[in-house]
């Protein structure tokens, strides 16, 4: 993480403004700017905001939870791994049901609309298998199969992108009544899940009768199905074979994505890999 001194110096040099000019714009003395950039004094938040505003910049600050390696989350990993793979996924469904009922009981449901169905891994994967869809499970659900302790409310997959597989995927999505997911419309928006439409995008965020499903044909940091499938972990689940991206590839993708939740997940997964 950059220090305040480095942050201010970098912002000022990028703007090609001298310390004297910045001081003039911000209504302060050049010596104040010099002391801050040398790390001899630490400005208040209000002062830093004023200096950045003089550079036509603003600070974007986020509070992010930190994962403490060795915490209770990691203590759950051995217990998850003692479960049968199917039970690891069924646990996700059971938690989803509990949260949905709790939300409806507190008046937090979607009202009279269809709403978003809870994640049902069995329905999802048996439907994809019946239509012979070739894909690799990625993200938190793939990691869950390998002991990852965080709960997730959606499934992420990387399908093969060849023409035949897109036809299989299209048929499966129609059976699952796939619609475009949005935060504001729980039941989703109509979606033409034809092979031609699927081929037009790299990412599709969907809601189905089996819950949330995100399609990522080329996840961050990877080259897609042909990159992930050769090293994927094979599971026999719900009467069929399921490929899940190995933890190392999940880390690779999450690091490339760089979102705060991904960074937290990477810390946990790296520690899991050390303890194998």
More confident residue, 41 or 159: 159
Rounded to a whole number of angstroms, the distance between the first and last alpha carbons of the chain is: 30
CATH 1.10.260.40 fits 4-54, yes or no: yes
The pTM (predicted TM-score) of the whole model is: 0.71
Complete DSSP assignment for 228-258: HGGGPEEEEETTEEEEE--HHHHHHHHHHH-
Token pair, residue 244, equals 């899940």
Token pair, residue 274, equals 């050390």
Segments of the chain assigned to CATH 1.10.260.40 = 4-54
Predicted confidence (pLDDT) per residue in 75-107, tens digit: 889 999 999 999 999 888 777 665 555 555 545
Segments of the chain assigned to CATH 3.30.460.40 = 72-274
* CATH classification (class only), 72-274: alpha beta
For residues 158-181, average pLDDT: 97
For residues 201-229, average pLDDT: 96
Candidates 254, 221, 229, 228; CA nearest to 152 is: 254
């Amino acid at each position: 993480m950059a220090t305040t001194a480095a942050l201010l110096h970098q912002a000022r040099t990028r703007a090609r403004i001298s310390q004297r000019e910045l001081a003039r714009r911000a209504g302060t003395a050049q010596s104040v700017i010099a002391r801050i950039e040398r790390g001899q004094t630490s400005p208040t938040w209000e002062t830093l905001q004023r200096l950045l505003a003089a550079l036509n910049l603003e600070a974007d600050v986020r509070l992010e939870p930190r994962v403490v390696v060795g915490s209770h989350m990691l203590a759950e990993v051995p217990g998850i791994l003692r479960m049968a793979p199917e039970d690891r996924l069924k646990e996700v469904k059971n938690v989803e049901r509990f949260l949905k009922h709790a939300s409806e009981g507190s008046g937090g449901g979607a009202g009279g609309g269809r709403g978003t169905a809870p994640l049902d891994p069995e329905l999802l994967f048996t439907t994809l298998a019946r239509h012979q869809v070739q894909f690799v499970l990625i993200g938190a659900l793939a990691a869950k199969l390998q002991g990852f302790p965080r709960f997730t409310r959606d499934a992420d997959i990387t399908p093969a992108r060849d023409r035949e597989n897109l036809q299989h995927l299209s048929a499966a999505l129609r059976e699952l009544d796939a619609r475009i997911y949005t935060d504001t419309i729980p039941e989703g928006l109509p979606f033409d899940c034809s092979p031609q439409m699927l081929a037009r995008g790299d990412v599709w965020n969907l809601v189905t009768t089996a819950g949330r499903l995100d399609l990522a044909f080329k996840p961050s940091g990877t080259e897609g199905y042909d990159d992930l499938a050769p090293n994927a972990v094979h599971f026999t689940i719900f009467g069929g074979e399921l490929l899940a991206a190995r933890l190392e590839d999940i880390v690779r993708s999450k690091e490339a994505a760089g979102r705060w939740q991904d960074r937290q997940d990477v810390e946990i997964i790296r520690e899991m890999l050390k303890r194998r």
